[in-house]
Amino acid sequence: MDSDANSAVKKIELFNHSQQLKFTCRVVHSIPLMMSAVQVYFADKLSAVSHLIGTDQLPTLPQVRY
């Protein structure tokens, strides 16, 4: 895992049954923001991204009630 004082990055490679590289995943974590992102690459092209957010960014029940 690559990291410095403020972030950490992990690269994961996924191979098929023939040992051919099919997907590369990166998990990036920001320590000061306490937020993470997952990036999935297929053939060196970004295919999917997800972001993990903190509970302080989600609405409370009274905020979403009619």
Amino acid at 18: S
What's the rounded Cα separation, in Å, for the pair 27 and 16? Answer: 20
E runs forming strands in the chain: 2-3, 7-15, 21-30, 35-42, 45-52
- List the domain boundaries for the chain: 2-53
pLDDT tens by residue, 14-61:
999 999 999 999 999 888 877 889 999 998 899 999 987 777 777 788
Supply the pTM of this predicted model.
Answer: 0.67
